[in-house]
Amino acid sequence: MKTNCAWRLVARPEGPFKPQDFQWTEDPLPDLADGQVLVRQIYLSLDPTSRGWANPSATYLPPIPLGSVMRGFGLGVVEESRYPGLAPGDYVQGMLGWQTSAVSEGSALSRMERDPNIPLDAYLAVLGHIGATAYFGLLEIGQAKAGETLVVSGAAGAVGSLVGQIGKIVGCRVVGTAGSDEKCRWLTEELGFDAAINYKKEPVLSRMRRLCPAGIDVHFENVGGEVLDAALAFINTRARIVLCGLISQYNEFVPPPGPRFLGNVLIRRARLEGFVVIDYQDRFHEAFGPLATWMAEGRLKYRTDIVEGLEQAPVAVNRLFTGANIGKLLVRVSDDPGERR
Ligand SMILES: NC(=O)c1ccc[n+]([C@@H]2O[C@H](COP(=O)([O-])OP(=O)(O)OC[C@H]3O[C@@H](n4cnc5c(N)ncnc54)[C@H](OP(=O)(O)O)[C@@H]3O)[C@@H](O)[C@H]2O)c1
């Protein structure tokens, strides 16, 4: 009988995740019911939103019940199927959880058309929920257009690094903020950003004033706090502020005071709009075509930060909150059968 190894959430975190918030379990896998598939996980995606899911109150999803497998998005290969739409050997993405194998309703999974020229990690870094977040957030909510100035925070992360590059592709001037000189160099020297601000050591307000002489037309917010505050000081008339994430608050009990320059949203008739990418699930395919083309053309680059082994997940997830990751944070849970061929 096959065994499933899993991390279960057993305590509500106070502040950052701690190893004792999780418990490692090994259980026999159940038999499949009609409509179900067995998926062996290859890559687990570690995402900032998981911190909110672990809280006792609902976010855009219900809280994870204590004692259940930690929720998480992942990519894997079907090993057994009692669902007509999936067969052994198919690659799928979905909420596989922090576990080595998942028994899932087949209808809850997305089958991937795997292109042999695209590395498997790119399907989580670009051609998955991250790419869709950047694409729809910037182009639909942000309505970014050629000639405009775009500022993106958390710019060296998974979403932010794509947002800035898509901004360049559509013809924006792009300024990113990130937490180290190494990250800022990556943005300007390799990804084509026009400028980058190391928010940990530079005065954000005065640097943003200097780097955005024509003001800000689109601000893509991943972080909240000081950077959002500064961006609001320089928004243009009819600016769009895309509220994608507020990671600086996810470990806090009490939210920080609101931004100081909110009055500019009013007098400049700006629009501040939050969004959650799962609302675009049925339209992901619209994003994947252009994203894959830009990748193939070398205009859209990505980086993955891969941690080896599911055992590492409870510690590795905090890389997102310390800023240790550059690009998409993944856990390699098992080997890709495609790579062994
Ligand atoms: N709305 C949606 O549907 C949606 C979907 C996906 C992601 N998101 C959100 O988008 C944001 C980015 O997610 P991601 O998956 O791409 O993660 P990520 O950017 O790859 O990783 C998180 C980064 O946030 C920065 N950070 C952490 N704590 C910070 C703090 N206190 N102040 C400033 N920066 C901090 C760190 O970079 P530095 O070194 O630069 O500090 C870290 O590398 C998150 O807020 C996430 O919740 C939203």
Distance 156 CA to ligand 1 centre (A): 9
- Nearest atom within ligand 1 for CA of residue 243: 1
Distance 314 CA to ligand 1 centre (A): 17
Q: By residue range, what is the domain housing residue 37? A: 3-125+302-340
Tell me the pLDDT tens digit for each residue of 216-248. 999 999 999 999 999 999 999 999 999 999 999
What CATH number is associated with residue 264? 3.40.50.720
Q: Do 64 and 26 belong to one domain? A: yes
Q: Do 101 and 133 belong to one domain? A: no
The whole-number pLDDT of residue 182 equals: 98
pLDDT of 311 > 60? The answer is yes
Question: What angle (nearest 5°) sits at the alpha carbon of residue 312, between those of residues 309 and 317?
Answer: 120
Structure tokens belonging to residue 79: 């090993």
- Nearest atom within ligand 1 for CA of residue 200: 41
Q: Do 247 and 330 belong to one domain? A: no
Question: What angle (nearest 5°) sits at the alpha carbon of residue 332, between those of residues 251 and 86?
Answer: 105
Q: Do 136 and 272 belong to one domain? A: yes
Q: Do 255 and 171 belong to one domain? A: yes
Q: Residues of the chain with pLDDT > 70: what percent?
A: 99
- Residue 104 belongs to a domain: yes
Q: Do 134 and 223 belong to one domain? A: yes
Distance 250 CA to ligand 1 centre (A): 10
Closest residue by Cα to atom 30, ligand 1, is: 248
Q: Do 14 and 106 belong to one domain? A: yes
Distance 183 CA to ligand 1 centre (A): 13
- Residue 286 belongs to a domain: no
Q: Do 217 and 274 belong to one domain? A: yes
- Nearest atom within ligand 1 for CA of residue 227: 33
Closest residue by Cα to atom 36, ligand 1, is: 323
The whole-number pLDDT of residue 253 equals: 86
CA 209 to CA 9: how far, in whole Å? 44
Which residues are CB-contacts of 203 (< 8 A; sequence separation ≥ 6)? none
Provide the phi-psi class of 273: left if phi over 0, else alpha when psi is between -120 and 50, else beta.
Answer: beta
- Residue 283 belongs to a domain: no
- Residue 297 belongs to a domain: no
- Residue 30 belongs to a domain: yes
Q: Do 149 and 267 belong to one domain? A: yes
In contact, 139 and 165? CB cutoff 8 Å:
no
- Residue 184 belongs to a domain: yes
- The domain tally of the chain equals 2
Instruction: Give the pLDDT mean for 187-210.
Output: 98
- Residue 249 belongs to a domain: yes
Please, which pLDDT band fits residue 164 given cuts at 50, 70 and 90? very high
Q: Do 121 and 144 belong to one domain? A: no
What CATH number is associated with residue 7? 3.90.180.10
The whole-number pLDDT of residue 1 equals: 75
Give the residue, out of 121, 151, 163, 247, with the most ligand 1 atoms within 8 A of its beta carbon, to mutate for a pocket test.
247
The whole-number pLDDT of residue 341 equals: 41
Which residues form ligand 1's pocket by a CB distance below 6 Å?
A: 47-49, 133, 154, 156-160, 178-180, 183, 222-223, 225, 244-248, 275-277, 320-321, 323, 325, 329
The whole-number pLDDT of residue 213 equals: 98
Tell me the pLDDT tens digit for each residue of 250-293. 999 888 888 999 999 999 999 999 999 999 999 999 999 999 99
- Residue 213 belongs to a domain: yes
Q: Do 154 and 266 belong to one domain? A: yes
pLDDT of 340 > 60? The answer is no
Q: Do 184 and 270 belong to one domain? A: yes
Alpha helix (H) ranges present in 33-154? 49-53, 122-125, 129-136
Give the residue, out of 177, 199, 220, 222, with the most ligand 1 atoms within 8 A of its beta carbon, to mutate for a pocket test.
222
Instruction: Give the pLDDT mean for 294-323.
Output: 98
Mean pLDDT of the chain: 97
